[in-house]
Amino acid sequence: MMRIGLFLATNAAILVLISIVFQVFGIEGILDSNGVDLNLNALLVMSAVIGFSGSFISLAISKWSAKRSMGVHVIEQASNQDEQWLVSTVQKQAEQAGIGIPEVGVFESPQPNAFATGINRNNALVAVSTGLLQHMTKDEVETVLAHEVSHVSNGDMITMGLMQGVVNTFVIFLSRIVGFVVDRVVFKTQRGMGPAYYITSIIAQIVLSILASTIVMWFSRWREFHADAGAAELAGRQKMIAALKRLQTVNDPQDLPGEFSSFGISGGIGGGLKNLFMSHPPLEKRIEALEASANVVNRQ
């Protein structure tokens, strides 16, 4: 709750700061003199409502959506020893991490992967692919589960939702300003909003969304290192390194589809500009970070 309050307070402070900057530098007056009768304060509020609404709705239905879109079979009553082991392992790790016990599920996919989602730390879902269970040892699967439990413990799902809400807010806000300026200053629309406003706003929103997604993906990559560190504490650093090395042997690693890509254990292969849009750091970088932290511990 403190994390949510701090993030919301920070976002509110940013909105207020932008409003003050517009007034101090007379930007509202400049817009008015060019016929842009735009209420920036109202636009900020509207942008925040729209930006956060979509993000929180997506987060609120994330478990429901995952179960249906990914075909996750939730283990409500273990039918074999493997399912019993999965459930008991997640329960033990959740108790170590001090969070509510997540639901545990399995989804069909030949790719070794796993993800965690849910609206809060005590109402989460941890799911693994059939490919993960087939290609990894129990020690490696245990570490992957620890990585996902660490995501839950860190509150990464809600933090990503909040981050997306902030980004959405500014994309909507700035794209509408661009639309108003082009419509009134370039096309000299006198009253109301002309076609140029709608067309330019849409184009600006698409461009700004692409640019903003690099910020969200940077944050996603950053939190993967923290989840790896958390998994190392829960299951062991060498086990985590071994699990990541096993993932390197996969011939064609793939992201999970859509909104779940940033919650998986591994991402696809990057390269060039594609690196900016990857939800996960390269596996070798994650291994290097764990090995470097191990060296620091050994020197101490």
CA 5 to chain centre: 18
- Check if 148 is active-site: yes
Candidates 83, 148, 233, 259; catalytic one: 148
Q: In this structure, are residues 182 and 148 in contact, taking their beta carbons and an 8 Å threshold? A: no
- From CA 152, how far away is CA 162, in angstroms rounded? 15
- CA-closest candidate to residue 254, choices 142, 132, 166: 132
What DSSP assignment string belongs to 177-205?
HHHHHIIIIIS---SS--HHHHHHHHHHH
**Cβ–Cβ under 8 Å, residues 99 and 91:** no
Question: What CA–CA distance (Å, rounded) separates 29 from 31?
Answer: 5
- Take residue 193 and report the two structure tokens written for it: 């909003």
Looking only at the bridges linking them, the beta strands covering 103-107 and 123-129 are parallel
Which strands, in side-by-side order, build the sheet including 73-74?
Answer: 73-74, 103-107, 123-129, 114-120
Whether the CA torsion 244, 246, 251, 255 is positive or negative: it is negative
Q: What is the DSSP letter of 263?
A: G
C-alpha separations of 255 from 1, 139, 156, 269 in Å: 30, 23, 18, 9
Active site residues: 148
